[in-house]
Structure 1
Amino acid sequence: MTGSRIKSAETLAPAPIVVLSSEEIRAQGLASLGDVLQTLTVQSNAINTQANNGGDGSTRVSLRGLGSNRTLVLVNGRRFVPGGTGANSSVDLNAIPAAVIERIEVLKDGASAVYGSDAIGGVVNIITKTAIEGIEIDYYTGTSGAGDGEVMDLSVTTGLQSEKGHIAFSAGYHNQRPVWTGDRSFSESDKAYDWEKNDGSYNKNGSSATPEGHIIDRLGDEGNEAWQAVVEAAGDEAGDYHRDPDVGWRPFNWAGISSDGSGDTYNYQPENYLYTPQTRYSSFLSGTHTVAEDAKAYFEVVYTNRQSDQKLAPTPLFIISDGIVVSATNRYNEFGRDFIDVRRRFVEAGNRNFLQDIDTYRMVLGLDHRLGSFDADLSFSYGRSEGTNVNEGHFILNHVKHALGPDEDCTGDCVPLEILHGAGTITQPMVDYIQYIGVGRGYSRQQILQWNLTGEVARLPAGPLAVAAGLSSRWEAGAYLPDPMTASGNTTGSKALPTEGSYSVRALYAETQLPIYKAEAVSLDATAAGRAFDYDTFGGGFTYEAGSRLQLSQGLAFRATSSNAFRAPSIAEMFLGVSDSFPLVSDPCSRVDEAGNVRELTAQQERNCAAQGIPDDFEDSRAQLLARLGGSTDLDPEKAAMITAGVVYQPDFLGGLDLTVDYYTTKIEDEIGTLPASLILSNCYSQDVPSDCDQVVRDPDNHLINRILATNTNIGETETSGVDFGLNYIADAP
């Protein structure tokens, strides 16, 4: 049973365990393993194919909501290779063929003493079928209630049995069609609750980068007569202009979105996926063969190919964020002056696409054998996930600068760019000059050699004293190499440097199951486990686990565990190349908010902003700022302490009923992560944490925030607790 190398039933274990049989999985009518696991009440907040912006087509599991990197996923009791486009830290459940699953065991407790790193939130152990004979064909198809999002899943499984062993093979095909956000009323626009009215109504938010064009005048230059006409027509609201196709330039209306006439902001939602599409091809091969009276060789081979994509609205260009100037001498600038803040949505260039093509391989070779009175298992596993990530729709930064700069600097193959005269004015040659297709590549590799031993060492009055012990060596490596434009920073999209690194760990563990007392229906058992480990990155350590189970009657038992666990820093956390993100944060020193409304600063913000030389009329209406992230090799492992306590009730008068109630608490210290950009800004300007001000980099000329620096560190602690209720009833149909 998962959580121990010593065999026991799920309701006899001291730690809470949920078991899903293949029949229960099939009865749910879901097409993939990830969909099944994400329906569990113990799972929350893991990424899946409904994640479009920031998604990668993967489906992961996060027990207790503590993160997929704190949930250990096993296949037949052995680690599965992390999946994705490279340097990943958790398993992509899409890589495990659902057709070969015999059962899924979910341990709702830490298990680092038995399995090592990552088993903080819990453990998911997927057990595959062995007793397969003949041919089994599974076909599933369906659509959403609105008639879109079609899904089709087909698998063929076959196997042979003999006195010497077995062989099983399965092949599958899966196709998921997309659902668009614009096709649902709840997602057709980006909504924000109206706290001023507080009557249940929402405001519709959009982007200030519009297809028609948006100018914020930060220089105040006079320009020529054409520009003066724009300023005079705007009256008191001069400084913020929208190009109306009917009347020309006028004051920008931040009140709503242009698609319903409530404002001028751009509604990007209809251009996005709500449910992302993907296609998968999978195969699985396993077998056993008796090579001696007390020895059986076995093997497993898995291969999966996933092709997935995400789609976003056309690229927005915020020239102020990239240091671009629309020159007064650009041929399409009729106003005779420079502009440093023009916002334009490039609908002429089409949507942004992010395409993944990922191959996942895993091979296991092993030998089950007897060693005296003990069962022993020696195995070697090799796993690799490799993929490409294609980005379409981003722009070459220096090409945009040249195309918007002075005409005399736009020479050779340079094509001047038009962004001041509304939608439809950007031609295909203009797009071809600035746009590029980026291809990034990466991999994750895992090798594990392990030997486990289990058996009984003595017969005590209350039952057998059972033990298990083992040794393991594990090597992990990973890399992600972004496309040259992204790596060099010569892009209007996010910048990212290559990520590459590796680590190894050696460990030994031991556990025991001790029967203390037994008399008729009353019994008391205890368990204990310990693990010593040594990493070549941060050093060694020790984890433990202790548990007990008190059976008071035939149908009533109490159980409890106390343990500590750890999570080693992942390759990405240690070796992540500097990369960019754009969190939804605004400048605390700005006198206007992202909607252009006047914003009052607190007294502390006034003092801290003034201390950095920011003028008292400073304005920045950007709703997203650049945060620059990166890895660190100075990380300590996360440490966790867990306690569970529960009761199991199986009444004699109602056979087939299992009722469980379990309390749990988990505290994680030295949590690895980055400080949110919002917290860094708050610490610097709203609190008095001057060290965080060093992480905020401003332009010395216009005082705008250029970037917020946030590298991985041991940032703090997380604590969670709760109660699990389980009810399982099995009865024969009449």
Structure 2
Amino acid sequence: MLPNSKLAKAVRFALITGAATAALSAPAVYAAIDDEKVERIQVTGSRIKRTDMEGSSPVTTITAADMEKTGEMSVADVLRRSNLNTFGSYSESSGSSWQSQSNISLRGAGADRTLVLLNGKRMPGSPTMGGTAVNLNTIPTAAIERIEVLSDGASAVYGSDAVAGVVNIILKKDFEGLEVSGTASSPEQDGGEEWKTHVIGGTSSDKGSLTFSFEHQNREIIYQRDRWFSSSTNIMADKYSDTTGVSAYARNFLDMTTYAFDPMAACDNDKMVGGGHVYDYGDGDYICGYDYTSEAADHAARKYTAGYVTAEYEISDEIMFEGQGLFSRNETFGRYAPAAGWFNVDAGQVDIQNYVDGVNTGTSKNENAGRVYYRFTDVGTRDSKTVDYSTDIQVGLVGEHDDFGWDFTYHYNLAENSNFGKGYIHRPTVEALVKSGEFNFGPEGNNADVVAAISHDTLKQDTMEFQSVNAGVNFEAIDLPAGLVGWYFGTEFSQYKYEANVDAESAAGEVIGSSGNGSSGDRDVFAVFGESIIPVTEDLELNLAFRFDDYSDFGSATTPKVALRYQLIEDLVLRASWGQGFRAPSLSNLYAADSFSADTATDYHYCEQQGTPVAECSAKQYDVTRTANSELQPETSDFYNLGAIWNITDNFSSKVEYYNLSIDDVITFVSLSSLLKEEQSVGYGNLALGEIKRAGDNPNGKLLSATTPQVNGNGFDTSGIDFNLTYTGLETAAGDFGSTFDLTYVISYDDEEYFDGPVNNQVGRNGMPEYRFTWVIDWSYGDHSASLLTQYIDGQAEKTDPNTYELIGSLPSQTTFDASYTYMASWNGKFTFGVRNITNEDPVLDSDLEYDSSLYNLYGRTYTASYTQRF
């Protein structure tokens, strides 16, 4: 029985007209049925082939045709639109070493708890992301046949990371002929133009088949100045808090004795806002500012090239060879504003402007030692280029003899990612030139020799090498009255080698405007697993699975799963599943060296001391040191699912699924936001883990820096409902119509407010919408077809009171419409035209004109066109 609060939310859900699980999907036909033979198929979540389209676990299919309706050109962008990607996920962001990365986070549980498979085989995590999540930008879109999303836990079948579900990307095979295609898109606003071309070909014979594909995609950069909401606003305001897009890292001095900010004489520079405009920074401080949006980019430019080949060959009547190779190169270019950071100066080394109540009382030398918060405009912008190479090779044998089958696969994956950065600053050189008097703090800036001396190019190289050997047997044994029991037993050995290297100066923390550090590690994993499908009665099926994993570096894990499928009546299926799961700590979680970052957080305590209301307390960036933890243990989880599938008529069907995911011993950074919340409760200097440093070691002083550790937290729980309605085959004189309506509704997301702190339901907070849905209407008439796709993301609160945890402010919901039209020409050509975001909706913005890039994108209305020719 549901607790009262959850039951009330379930009732509330029933009053919403919507539908669920994965946006864009329509029921897929897996089994071909005739009078003599029923084909057995294998669906994600089980290794045993079956005859039923709906098994005991929920699987949603996104076909190549579904992907085409969205107008998106990458698999990452398609999956990020899915309702199952509940709270959004990371996408490419200009300027950082992660700018080439994109992932999916099922159930809002995190991308590192979503397992991604390629043709049923595990893909290792991206080394750039520390091996914790798969970079979807390495997967070619043109080669995809379909994507199957298993939306319950599957660690018993696939092992680590399948805590919240599995995304199985299935590539084309048995392709006949040749297909050539070109696609282009053009946003109405500046930046983000895309084009893509691909070739797919294949041939087959009585003994085997060969399929290949090649594709190239190109997307232009989007600068912050290209969008009204990401460019600066109100830059000539008196108060700094009334601006957006302006940084205090300009030409300012922080006195480390009084902890007061003052603008430097060097503020009188054309690159500073207004040529030296001074802001009231609050607390009696004054600063000048720099408009970083004038040069920085939001979305990176991207060039992607991939080749894919797969082959099958019948060695004998009972043995088939299968092989595939995937090779991709993903290059991105991003831009940050010129490097900004602080460095130390002694007393008397810089000229500061003395402001009292907004009045400049004159210029003098600094009396105390301090920090200069400086924007190195002389050096130019920080430009970042990433080049990611991915190689994936799978070869195997599949055999059958009577009722006995077997398989053997060798899988090799190598990811080599490099990030090249220009325009960074070597702090020790700057400080040495300051001491010698060669660094010019004046408005005129520094000469070419000084610029060359302080400039630094960064290099970050990440590598993940993965090898695995899988073997298994399947057979039917034990004849029950309802039929034979199906079995599968297998074993797997995997090896991971991870290495991340950065240039020596960055590793030593000597580079201004950069972050990160190196690490390395390796592990071996041995696993054995088994699965059985037991026909208890003609209508009741029991599915059992069990897996044991042994890790070379931290221990072992045992995970079971039990699932039931019950054919209540001919057109109504009930199903239920329970499974335990686990997630192993990544090699970077365990062994990474300390890394430095600028984390964004809101210091409500300091705002309170200054008399700033919670609603007006703004988030700022702070220096943070992140530390790994070699003592981490794996996460464990329990996943429950209850569902019903009702074929109401031959054309009308419905699905409803209730899920409940509970995760213990969560592997997480104790974030700066978490530390600040804990400090509110326990007081400065009393944190259980991590550290906060305030000016003068004063509990009420400015926040200067923090240390955030990697730990096993207590855990979190989430539950919700997926609901789907599908109608197809409405025949009219004006054409045939169909519709799919999907919704995911989050009943609860119970998580700690901070490490070991109070637990609250956080649904409805900023970035955590209560529900989102997709509605697709399809139309076809002869050679013509069209679709209208509606997507809705519920509104959220803007802030959460740090003391009472009540929701403050309101962010509106967002509804977007996408349309596409296709004409099939008589010469096997296909024309497709589309418009994404027809009403040109901006992302949902908060009071600081910030938006959640995990949930929303900044492309606006975008026109698409493509032509495909089959031979």
- TM-score normalized with structure 1 length: 0.83
Q: CA separation in 2, counterparts of 1:148 and 1:683?
A: 42
Q: CA separation in 1, counterparts of 2:409 and 2:261?
A: 73
Which amino acid in the other structure matches residue 643 of structure 2?
A: G
- The equivalences for 1:203-242 within 5 A come to 204=244, 206-210=246-250, 213-219=251-257
- The equivalences for 1:122-521 within 5 A come to 122-189=165-232, 204=244, 206-210=246-250, 213-219=251-257, 243-244=267-268, 252-254=279-281, 264-319=288-343, 324-325=344-345, 328=348, 335-337=364-366, 340-371=370-401, 373-407=403-437, 416-419=438-441, 421-422=442-443, 424-518=444-538
Is 1:18 aligned with 2:16? no
Q: CA separation in 2, counterparts of 1:250 and 1:532?
A: 65
Q: Which residue of 2 aligns with 1:672?
A: 667
Structure 1 18/418 Cα, relative in aligned 2: closer, same or farther at 3 Å? same
Q: Which residue of 2 aligns with 1:610?
A: none
Equivalent of residue 648 in structure 2, options 646, 651, 654: 651
Q: Structure 2: give runs of 5+ residues left out of the alignment.
A: 1-42, 236-240, 354-362, 730-735, 737-779, 782-871
Q: CA separation in 1, counterparts of 2:52 and 2:612?
A: 58
Q: Displacement of 1:275 after TM fit?
A: 2.1
Which amino acid in the other structure matches residue 141 of structure 2?
A: A
Q: Tell me, what secondary structure is at the counterpart of 2:512?
A: coil
Which amino acid in the other structure matches residue 253 of structure 2?
A: I
State how many pairs are aligned.
Answer: 662
Q: Tell me, what secondary structure is at the counterpart of 1:163?
A: coil
Structure 1 27/587 Cα, relative in aligned 2: closer, same or farther at 3 Å? closer
Which amino acid in the other structure matches residue 149 of structure 1?
A: G
Q: Displacement of 1:185 after TM fit?
A: 1.7
Equivalent of residue 639 in structure 1, options 636, 640, 647: 636
Structure 1 449/700 Cα, relative in aligned 2: closer, same or farther at 3 Å? same
Q: CA separation in 2, counterparts of 1:526 and 1:71?
A: 25
Q: CA separation in 2, counterparts of 1:332 and 1:206?
A: 20
Q: Tell me, what secondary structure is at the counterpart of 2:630?
A: coil
Q: Which residue of 2 aligns with 1:69?
A: 112
Which amino acid in the other structure matches residue 624 of structure 1?
A: Q
- Note if contact 1:62-1:71 (Cα within 8 Å) is conserved in structure 2: yes
Structure 1 524/187 Cα, relative in aligned 2: closer, same or farther at 3 Å? same
Structure label with greater radius of gyration: 1
Per-residue CA deviations over 1:169-203 (Å, capped at 9, x if unaligned) read 111111110112222122223899xxxxxxxx986
Q: Displacement of 1:728 after TM fit?
A: 3.1
Per-residue CA deviations over 1:408-427 (Å, capped at 9, x if unaligned) read xxxxxxxx2223x33x5233
Q: CA separation in 1, counterparts of 2:213 and 2:527?
A: 34
Which amino acid in the other structure matches residue 187 of structure 1?
A: S
Q: Tell me, what secondary structure is at the counterpart of 1:402?
A: helix
Per-residue CA deviations over 1:297-327 (Å, capped at 9, x if unaligned) read 11111110111122211112323xxxx1056
Structure 1 52/552 Cα, relative in aligned 2: closer, same or farther at 3 Å? farther
Q: CA separation in 1, counterparts of 2:692 and 2:68?
A: 52
Q: CA separation in 1, counterparts of 2:78 and 2:612?
A: 47
Structure 1 462/57 Cα, relative in aligned 2: closer, same or farther at 3 Å? same
Q: Tell me, what secondary structure is at the counterpart of 1:574?
A: helix
Structure 1 190/439 Cα, relative in aligned 2: closer, same or farther at 3 Å? farther
- Note if contact 1:22-1:101 (Cα within 8 Å) is conserved in structure 2: yes
Which amino acid in the other structure matches residue 535 of structure 1?
A: Y
Looking at both structures, which has the greater relative contact order when contacts are Cα pairs under 8 Å and sequence separation is at least 6?
2
Equivalent of residue 543 in structure 2, options 522, 527, 537: 527
Q: Structure 1: give runs of 5+ residues left out of the alignment.
A: 193-200, 222-236, 256-261, 408-415, 602-620
Structure 1 693/83 Cα, relative in aligned 2: closer, same or farther at 3 Å? closer
Equivalent of residue 4 in structure 1, options 46, 68, 74: 46
Q: Displacement of 1:502 after TM fit?
A: 1.0
What is the root-mean-square deviation in Å for CA atoms of aligned residues?
Answer: 3.3
Structure 1 163/244 Cα, relative in aligned 2: closer, same or farther at 3 Å? same
Structure 1 661/263 Cα, relative in aligned 2: closer, same or farther at 3 Å? farther
Tell me which moved more, 692-701 or 152-161: 692-701
Structure 1 586/724 Cα, relative in aligned 2: closer, same or farther at 3 Å? closer
Q: Which residue of 1 aligns with 2:656?
A: 661
Q: CA separation in 2, counterparts of 1:583 and 1:470?
A: 44
- Note if contact 1:684-1:693 (Cα within 8 Å) is conserved in structure 2: no
Per-residue CA deviations over 1:352-408 (Å, capped at 9, x if unaligned) read 12221111001111000125522211001010001211122221111010121143x
Q: CA separation in 1, counterparts of 2:340 and 2:608?
A: 21
Q: CA separation in 1, counterparts of 2:110 and 2:234?
A: 27
Q: CA separation in 2, counterparts of 1:369 and 1:25?
A: 34
- Note if contact 2:564-2:576 (Cα within 8 Å) is conserved in structure 1: yes
Q: Displacement of 1:694 after TM fit?
A: 6.7
Which amino acid in the other structure matches residue 578 of structure 1?
A: D
Structure 1 40/402 Cα, relative in aligned 2: closer, same or farther at 3 Å? same
- TM-score normalized with structure 2 length: 0.71
- Note if contact 1:155-1:173 (Cα within 8 Å) is conserved in structure 2: yes
Q: Tell me, what secondary structure is at the counterpart of 1:405?
A: helix
Q: CA separation in 2, counterparts of 1:153 and 1:10?
A: 38
Q: Which residue of 1 aligns with 2:163?
A: 120
Which amino acid in the other structure matches residue 675 of structure 1?
A: V
Per-residue CA deviations over 1:544-569 (Å, capped at 9, x if unaligned) read 11111121222211111111111111
Structure 1 76/136 Cα, relative in aligned 2: closer, same or farther at 3 Å? same
Which amino acid in the other structure matches residue 20 of structure 1?
A: I
Which amino acid in the other structure matches residue 280 of structure 2?
A: N
Q: Displacement of 1:240 after TM fit?
A: 5.8
Which amino acid in the other structure matches residue 418 of structure 1?
A: N
Structure 1 633/112 Cα, relative in aligned 2: closer, same or farther at 3 Å? same
Q: Displacement of 1:508 after TM fit?
A: 0.9
Q: CA separation in 2, counterparts of 1:138 and 1:248?
A: 51
Structure 1 329/206 Cα, relative in aligned 2: closer, same or farther at 3 Å? closer
Structure 1 450/49 Cα, relative in aligned 2: closer, same or farther at 3 Å? same
- Note if contact 1:2-1:106 (Cα within 8 Å) is conserved in structure 2: yes
Q: CA separation in 2, counterparts of 1:505 and 1:55?
A: 27
